[in-house]
Amino acid sequence: MPRPKLHDDALRVRLLEQAVRTLSKEGPDGLSLRKLAAQVGTSTTAVYSLFGGKPGLLNAVFDEAFDRFAQRLGTVEHVDDLIEQGIALAAAYRSSALDEPHFYQVMFGQVGGELTPDEESVRRATATFTPLVEWVRQAMDAGLLREENPRTVATTMWSVMHGLVSLELRSLLPPGSGEPAELYRHALRAMLRGWHP
């Protein structure tokens, strides 16, 4: 009979979720492995066993943030209306940020800029941009968007979402600007009209 794993995936996830909360509030310098282990009710041995030390933990937090983000984008169901498909991708971006703001901070906030993920992690993070670029290509092929560099259009769309999400997370959307979900839809539709043939 195999021996039970002492340091399982559930513990790994609890450590990552506590680590990301600490990172969001205190930055990498505020993350102590001893304190993290105590907060989760385990030992530093478990942290070393699962991550190999603080650099490995920080890299794993970065990976987890982008993995969750990619999974959220992957849940967007295909619809025949390509414009609605693009808006659904944008809505998934927003819901990912609002549901897990600490992970969003690791990906795109000041905390993320302080991390030094390895090359494979950067490649995986960059790949989360692919669904949006592919959507832009499909919309161009369908004649809904004019022929441009798809990455330029996708980056513009991402920038609009990022700006709105950042304002919403900080409760800085101007009063009277409307219900946030509708504000996003209006902003994206207006931007897409600008790329119309």
Q: What is the helix (H) or strand (E) element at residue 131, kind and residue range?
A: helix 130-141
Burial class (CB in 10 A: 0-12, 13-18, 19+), 127: exposed
Over residues 44-73, the pLDDT tens digits come to: 999 999 999 998 999 999 999 999 999 999
- At residue 105, the pLDDT reads 87
The whole-number pLDDT of residue 111 equals 65
pLDDT of residue 119: 92
CATH 1.10.357.10 fits 62-194, yes or no: yes
* DSSP-assigned letter for residue 39: H
Query: For residue 82, what is the enclosing H or E element?
Result: helix 82-99
pTM for this structure?
A: 0.86
Q: Residue ranges per domain, the chain? A: 62-194
| Integer Cα distance of 105 and 98 in angstroms | 11
Tell me the C-alpha distance between 179 and 21, whole Å. Answer: 28
Looking at residue 4, its pLDDT comes to 41
φ, ψ (nearest 5 deg) of residue 116? -125, 75
Q: Which of these, 192, 182, 94, lies nearest to 135 by C-alpha position? A: 192
74: amino acid identity, one letter: G
Task: Report, as ranges of residue numbers, the positions in the chain whose pLDDT lies below 50.
Answer: 1-4
Cβ atoms 67, 132 nearer than 8 A = no
